[in-house]
Chain A
Amino acid sequence: MTRTEILIELKKVFAPYTTNKEMLDSINDETDLIKDLKINSANLVDIIIDAEAKYDIEIDYDSADKIINVGTCIDLIMEKLKQDK
């Protein structure tokens, strides 16, 4: 799975948790989940759980700390997908 493919899928994961739909359409690696997408920090947990189900991966406490912007999310998902193979 390429970064672009993951990015497209991630938009669907974020959609229920942001009201900033315009920003969601134009996200890039630098987009901050809390500051730009205005995602409630407590909802990051729901996003992690949704992403785990979608990609069939497991995200632990330390990895969750790295989730800051779209780029670090994609890094983490790619890393986890690689580990599973």
Chain B
Amino acid sequence: MNNHILNHLPYKSSFRFVDNISLLSEDEVRGEYTLRNDAFFYEDHFEGNPVTPGVIITEIMAQIGLVVLGIFLVLKEREFNYMDDDSLYPLLTTTDVSFHKIVLPGQKVTVISKKQYFRFGKLKCYVEMLDSSKEVVAKGVFSGIIKKMNIKK
């Protein structure tokens, strides 16, 4: 139902970390992602002992918690032409995350993000990632901006 927003995400294939959006409003977003067993980072992080890197955990939280909600708000606010969103790019501006549990290949995680503010194009959220037993994997405050720019080719 909310997954049409995924068509607007600029990430493709190996760097897209959103499977499903289960809740989306102006104040809150909830989404899920299942870590692929064959993801590119497991081969080397760590060799023979694959563990999801903290930067990937952070990226999953940012894509669901900040970018999905940010694009939703921007489309709503500015009535951007749907043909026009080729030039919409999210830029992460700050993160402050703490990590509490490790995430292994194949695990499904849920990200819940609550908006603190969205002003002058900047979105700031409190974001939590939970594992399938609803325990906190990571939590923190994220902010970013959605910019319209032509950085292609």
Contact = CB atoms under 8 A, between A and B. Distances in A.
Interface of A: 40, 42-46, 48-49, 61, 64
Contact of A49 (B94, B119, B144, B145): B119
B93 A40 contact: yes
Interface of B: 93-94, 117, 119-120, 122, 124, 143-145
A40 B144 CA distance: 12
B93 A49 contact: no
A49 B117 contact: yes
Contacts, number: 21
A16 B124 CA distance: 17
Contacts of A61: 120
A39 to B, nearest CB: 12
A45 B94 contact: no
Contacts of B117: 49
Nearest to B119: A45
B93 A48 contact: no
Given A42-B143, A42-B145, A64 B120 contact: yes
A45 B120 CA distance: 7
Contacts of A40: 93-94
Contacts of A46: 124
Contacts of B93: 40, 42-43
A49 B124 CA distance: 12
A46 B124 CA distance: 10
21 contacts: A40-B93, A40-B94, A42-B93, A42-B94, A42-B122, A42-B143, A42-B144, A42-B145, A43-B93, A43-B94, A44-B120, A45-B119, A45-B120, A45-B122, A46-B124, A48-B119, A48-B120, A49-B117, A49-B119, A61-B120, A64-B120
